[in-house]
Amino acid sequence: MNATKQAICISAGRYNKLGGIERYNVEVAQALRRAGHSVSVIVTKIDYDMKDLDGVIELHTNLFFRPLTVLVNAVKVSYLYFRFKNKSPNGLFIVSGLPSFFCDIFVMHSVHRQSVRASNEREPKTIKGFLRRCGRTVYPLNIVIIAIEGFAALFGAKQIITISNKAKGEIIKAYAVREKKIKVVYTGVDSRGFSPNKAMRESLRKREGFAEDDFLFLFSGHEFKRKGLKYAIEALAEVSDRKVKLIVAGKDSPESLREIIKNSHIEDRVFFIGARSDFQDWCAAADAFVFPTLEDIFGVVIIEAMAAGIPVITSGPAFAGACECLENGNDSLFLDDPADVKRIAFYMKQLVGDGDFCSRLGTNARKTAEGLSWDCVAGGVIKAWETRF
């Protein structure tokens, strides 16, 4: 990383570690500080220690109409960008979470326009599906986000960084951005915080009432439908061993899945634990991670689970960008179709029934995750900016 101290401002939005984008911003900010840069952040909510930062700008825009709130915030951040560049002409202004029309680097964790398209494509070809497609397309919040995203990608951002080649392809498809304007810098993982921890495994299981010989699959995601939780639950129902259980972390509502769970008679095998600030502890306590996501630009939870030394069952690179860094059958198990319940169940049974295979996969998963540090991510961001021309 550049040894010269540089003024850097990150437009982050929520500053915590409860979601993938939020964790990215916290970890990258801290890594940039460790490298000697001066780092300030623009936030809308703070749920994490900020003592190591050089400056904090808080935005509190709470209007009656959320699309208007998003738009006003984008205007405010754009103003802060020009003010920052006037003060620090050689400084680096990064938009990562809280949108802006203008910036130096636009970190695109997702492509909202493509997400809307993908959701529409999954709708059934019925009257109800047609109405949902129409509603999603004209939904004011989607219109505003896509307008800001498109302007920034095409005109307002000097460079785009994204976290997978999958995302790069989606950006080009959605907005016809020049390929050389986009650099891929894979996201990272804290392999010290996420690591095998036998003591934590034993204490958490005891505290939560799980037996040592229970085989715990862990799932994590804030959008249960898009992350494929339904398929993980249906696969669990095909595993007859009552010791095999599923722990679900995430803030989405489980109500739509209650009937499936009840009809499958697995009420005592599925546990919803909500959004977790101690997700690393649950990774240490679990035996494997299952994540049949339908659409994930990256999927940082995949490599977080791998860093904890547990095997993962996840959708392949066509669905999850993180799989570009993984090797199917060596450090992970890929699903060609996230909705293939039979294949998910097969992998589950394979991990439960073959301890040596499960252990080998987990060991290799840990090795892969160790190569994806946040210091490397921060260095990649700086290098991408320095070599943009």
What's residue 103's pLDDT?
A: 97
Q: Is 21 exposed, middle or buried (0-12, 13-18, 19+ CB in 10 A)?
A: buried
pLDDT for residue 152 is more than 80: yes
* Confidence band for 128, pLDDT divided at 50, 70 and 90: very high
Mean pLDDT in residue range 329-351 = 97
Report pLDDT digits (tens) over 280-304: 999 999 999 999 999 888 998 999 9
Look up tokens 């990215």; give the residue.
Answer: 24
Q: What is the pLDDT of residue 2?
A: 44
Under CATH, to which class is 198-370 assigned? alpha beta
Residue-level pLDDT at 115: 87
pLDDT of residue 1: 45
3 has a pLDDT exceeding 70: no
Q: What is the pLDDT of residue 238?
A: 96
Residue 159 belongs to what H/E stretch? strand 157-162
Strand partners, 325: none
Which superfamily is assigned to 7-188+373-386 in CATH?
Glycogen Phosphorylase B; (3.40.50.2000)
Q: Do residues 374 and 188 lie in contact, with contact meaning Cβ atoms separated by under 8 Å?
A: yes
The per-residue pLDDT for range 4-25, each reduced to its tens digit, is 689 999 999 988 877 778 889 9
pLDDT at position 389 over 70: no
Averaged pLDDT, 48-58: 87
Same CATH fold assignment for domains 7-188+373-386 and 198-370: yes
| Cβ–Cβ < 8 Å for 298, 167 | yes
Sheet holding 38-46, edge to edge: 55-58, 38-46, 7-15, 92-95, 103-108, 157-162, 182-184
Domain chopping of the chain, boundaries: 7-188+373-386, 198-370
Neighbours of 196 (CB within 10 A): 15
What is the pLDDT at residue 213?
94
**Res 124 pLDDT > 60:** yes
Q: Which amino acid, residue 274?
A: G
Sign of CA dihedral 62, 65, 71, 75: negative
